[in-house]
Amino acid sequence: MASLLHQIQHQSVTIAAALPLDSGQMLPSVTIAYQSYGALNADRSNAVLICHALTGDQYVASDHPGTGKPGWWARMVGPGKPIDTDRFHVICANVLGSCMGTSGPATPDATTGAPLGMQFPVITITDMVRAQAMLLDHLGISRLHAVVGGSMGGMQTLAWAATYPDRLASALVIASAARHSAQNIAFHEVGRQAIMADPDWQDGQYYGSARAPTKGLAVARMAAHITYLSEEGLTEKFGRRLQARDIKSFGFDADFQIESYLRHQGLAFTDRFDANAYLYITRAMDYFDLAEPHDGRLAGAFAGAKDVRFTLVSFDTDWLYPTSESRRVVQALQSVGAAASFVELSAPFGHDSFLLDVPALDRLVAGSLRAGLA
């Protein structure tokens, strides 16, 4: 499947400038794939950057070229929608390390022409943000009306406020956190080990071969997908109902609907994502801790962001990024005098609530973006 992913053509730009990384390594140049929607106004003040989550991509409001499915946030972005493309110029870039056109492990080595694989340097959330800033420089956008993101996208949004506070007027952070918890790191490690234990992973050099670690990647996706849901939602949708049978098989086929659902989710994921990219992006999330460079004081990360307006949203059934994590961010922002509003919404969908039909979220997003608009 990796070879099929690489056949997709994306709108992208290659920037010849070097990109320094948190690891101390450097990318001599970087290619960034992106999509944009709506027109940039005369004074370039209406740009909104949307940051996608772990398995998302730049196709936020347009059909995915590989699967043909609608954009991952098409319900939120478009003409007359909460992120209104009649009013805003919306940009969404595929993150560094991913597999939809931006530089990552499948990028060819400049010397050999072979995919870098595990020779691609390990990256961080802040490295992703630096690459996005390079894209905006290339597009001639010096300041953003807002940066918006959910989950890993929310991490990028917080990193934007910490790294480039003078380049954004507002930040909308949904179902996210300023650090990855030990529990979250543990779930990611299970997924990575599933991929690397697959014999078809071939130490990451499976590109161009007839074998790819689809079984390991499917298991990684299954494990992660459980964390995106809530017990309430799983019980309501599946319960203990059997899948296409009246009695248990007393074997190891998918007896239960939830088993069949997870297997489908795992296999479908391998059609649109690269296993090595999954390793790199999950590692970037694990390293994320905005307080760490400031002696553990999260307020230190936001010392320069006093003039940024923050809106934070959590969901009451999200146990992956619980409300306590959003409250921690809000307390840090308030301690430095930043304007920060926060709301916990009720929704049965768990962490995935930010992607699903929650009308209260639509109203909050629309209201947040209207604030401060000339």
Distance (Å, whole) CA 326 – CA 313: 7
What is the pLDDT, as a whole number, of residue 45? 94
Q: Is the pLDDT of residue 27 over 80?
A: yes
Q: Is the pLDDT of residue 1 over 80?
A: no
Q: What is the dihedral of CA 71, 88, 157, 132, to 10 degrees?
A: 80
Distance (Å, whole) CA 83 – CA 74: 10
Name every residue whose Cβ is closer than 8 Å to that of residue 25 and which is 6 or more positions away in sequence. Answer: 121
Measured in degrees and rounded to the nearest 5, phi and psi for residue 50 equal -105, 130
User: What does 292-354 look like in DSSP terms, one character per residue?
Assistant: GGGTT-HHHHTTT-TTSEEEEEEETT-SSS-HHHHHHHHHHHHHTT-EEEEEEEP-TTGGGGG
Confidence of residue 332 (pLDDT cuts 50, 70, 90): very high
Measured in degrees and rounded to the nearest 5, phi and psi for residue 347 equal -155, 145
Measured in degrees and rounded to the nearest 5, phi and psi for residue 302 equal -105, 15
Confidence of residue 6 (pLDDT cuts 50, 70, 90): low
What is the pLDDT, as a whole number, of residue 8? 78
The CATH class given to the 185-281 domain equals mainly alpha
What is the pLDDT, as a whole number, of residue 192? 98
What tens digit of pLDDT does each residue of 186-230 get?
999 999 999 999 999 999 999 989 999 999 999 999 999 999 999
Name which of 150, 191, 185 is nearest 171 in CA terms: 150
Beta bridge partners of 278: none
Q: What is the dihedral of CA 237, 243, 247, 251, to 10 degrees?
A: -120
**Cβ-based neighbour number of residue 67 at 10 Å:** 11
Considering the chain, what is the average pLDDT of its residues?
95
Name every residue whose Cβ is closer than 8 Å to that of residue 301 and which is 6 or more positions away in sequence. Answer: 158, 162, 178, 290, 291, 293, 294, 332
Determine the 3-state secondary structure of 169 from DSSP: coil
Give the residue carrying structure tokens 């694989």. Answer: 117
Beta bridge partners of 174: 150, 313
What tens digit of pLDDT does each residue of 343-371 get?
999 999 999 999 999 999 999 999 999 98
Distance (Å, whole) CA 374 – CA 372: 6
Determine the 3-state secondary structure of 128 from DSSP: helix
Distance (Å, whole) CA 257 – CA 87: 43
Distance (Å, whole) CA 136 – CA 129: 11
The identity of residue 27, as a single letter, is L
Q: Which positions are annotated as active-site residues?
A: 151, 318, 351
> Can you give the length of the chain in residues?
374
CA distances from 71 to 52, 65, 225, 298, 326 (A): 11, 10, 19, 34, 26
Domain spans in the chain, listed from the N-terminal domain onward = 2-181+292-370, 185-281
The identity of residue 17, as a single letter, is A
Residues above pLDDT 70, as percent of the chain: 98
What is the pLDDT, as a whole number, of residue 306? 95
Two structure tokens written together for 332: 């840090």
Q: Is the pLDDT of residue 80 over 60?
A: yes
Asked if residue 34 lies in contact with residue 28, where contact means CB atoms within 8 angstroms, the answer is no
Asked if residue 40 lies in contact with residue 369, where contact means CB atoms within 8 angstroms, the answer is no
Confidence of residue 279 (pLDDT cuts 50, 70, 90): very high
Q: Helix 152-163 and helix 275-287: axis angle, to 10°?
A: 50
Distance (Å, whole) CA 237 – CA 242: 12
Q: Is the pLDDT of residue 32 over 60?
A: yes
Burial readout 332-355 (b: 16 or more C-beta within 10 A, e: otherwise): bbeebebebebeebebbbbbbbbb
Two structure tokens written together for 166: 């003078």
Measured in degrees and rounded to the nearest 5, phi and psi for residue 172 equal -115, 110
Measured in degrees and rounded to the nearest 5, phi and psi for residue 66 equal -90, -40
State which fold the 2-181+292-370 domain adopts.
Rossmann fold (3.40.50)
What is the pLDDT, as a whole number, of residue 5? 65
Overall average pLDDT of the 77-103 stretch: 97
Q: What is the pTM of this model?
A: 0.96
What is the pLDDT, as a whole number, of residue 371? 82
Helix (H) or strand (E) holding 369: helix 359-370
Q: Is the pLDDT of residue 177 over 60?
A: yes
Determine the 3-state secondary structure of 172 from DSSP: strand
What tens digit of pLDDT does each residue of 156-166 get?
999 999 999 99
